[in-house]
Amino acid sequence: MTTSYDQQQPLKKSTIMKRALKLLLSFMKNRIKGAIFTLINGILIMCLFSFCADKNKAKNASPVFIEPDTEKPDIVLISVYDNYKIKAELKTAWGFASIIETPAEKILFDTGGDPVILLSNMQKMNIDPGSIHKVIISHVHGDHTGGLEDFLEKNNKVTVFIPASFPHSIKDMITDKGAKYTEVSESMKISDFVYSTGELNGLLDEQALIIDSKKGLIVITGCAHPGIVKIIEKAKTIMKRDSVYLVAGGFHRPPMAVVKKFRELGMQKVAPSHCTGDDVREAFAEEYKEDFVEYGIGKRIEIK
């Protein structure tokens, strides 16, 4: 019920004071309520904005890899499985496997198709499977995964970095052999100066390897199913570089125009092998001359 002041009897001084105080209190209460409401609204809007910003950040930004401010290491790249041959005493077969040696460790990238050929080639090259610290598998095709199971029987003290989309049968096989695996989806650091591009989508999902060497970036590809140009562009974006020192591995028989495109991409040296295709490989040799590196089983590239 509301009352108007003009209907009321004259009031006592104390009552007037009380009413005035009550009115003031109620006014202040409403103002405080209003202020709290505005404050909560403000906080909610800010949270919503920062959530949206974070979501965009996660989508667009590439992780930045900051290496310790030390000298980059010497790198040795050794082909242990390929359909191209450099050393006569080694056996070729369709597939790809290479070893990356840093002063700290040895990494096996892909395992070829035939475990017997992989292990016998390694033996002939005096590479003990037990000396390998990490294994990276580029993609699910048998000419890259074929040697994995037998390799793990010789050495299960490794972590195998596999694309996250790999089937459970391979993941279970790795753990059954007593080894560990890491699923790769985004670009990530594998070791000091060694990174994965992350699982790149294409006709077939695949990861490639990036090494930050003294001479510049080295990119190693298994079959390059997502496209060799896409892989190189991704590597440059992740590492924030304008050029790549060397790219080696299977280029998945790209169109001839890719040879010229490599110059635009700032590729300094090329070592195409495996599934690149003879004609594309020859075109690279013609274009790159002394910067074309003949890569195949038995080849050892030292980057110092």
Give the position of tokens 């800010």: 46
Identify the three-state secondary structure at position 214: coil
Instruction: Establish if 199 lies at the interface with Zn ion (CB under 5 A).
Output: no
Residue closer to Zn ion by CB (options 122, 223) is 223
129 or 226, CB closer to Zn ion?
A: 226
Residues numbered 8 to 37 that lie near Zn ion (CB under 5 A) are none
Q: x/- site string to Zn ion, residues 233 to 272, per CB under 5 A?
A: ----------------------------------------
Nearer to Zn ion by Cβ, of 137 and 303: the residue is 137
The residue written with tokens 């890259």 in the block is 144
Taking the C-alpha atoms of residue 177 and residue 150, their distance in angstroms, rounded to an integer, is 9
d(CA 183, CA 193) in angstroms, rounded, equals 19
228 binds Zn ion (CB under 5 A): no
> Smallest distance, Å, CB 250 to Zn ion?
5
Q: How far apart are CA 69 and CA 85, in angstroms?
A: 38
Would you count residue 141 as binding Zn ion (CB under 5 A)? yes
Tally of CA atoms within 13 A in the half-sphere of 70 that contains its CB:
6
Task: Of 298, 275, 296, 272, give the one whose Cα is nearest residue 285.
Answer: 272
223 in contact with Zn ion (CB under 5 A)? yes
Query: Of the listed pieces 40-48, 104-112, 137-145, 265-273, which binds Zn ion according to CB under 5 A?
Result: 137-145
Q: Which CB sits closer to Zn ion, 141 or 299?
A: 141
Q: How many CB atoms lie within 10 A of CB 89?
A: 10
Strands in 180-184's sheet, in edge-to-edge order, are 180-184, 159-163, 134-136, 106-109, 97-101, 75-81, 300-303
Q: How far is the CB of 107 from Zn ion (least distance, A)?
A: 19
At closest approach, how far in Å is the CB of 265 from Zn ion? 22
Cβ nearer to Zn ion, comparing 141 with 234: 141
Q: Indicate the residue among 239 and 258 with the shorter CB distance to Zn ion.
A: 258
Instruction: Return the number of other C-beta atoms located less than 10 Å from residue 294's C-beta.
Output: 13
Question: Among residues 82, 110, 114, 143, which is the contact residue for Zn ion, using CB under 5 A?
Answer: 143
What mask of x and - would describe binding to Zn ion in positions 85 to 124, judged by CB under 5 A?
A: ----------------------------------------
- CA-based nearest residue to 154, from 180, 130, 175: 130
Strand pairing report for 194-196 and 180-184: unpaired
Residues in contact with Zn ion by the rule CB under 5 A: 141, 143, 223, 275
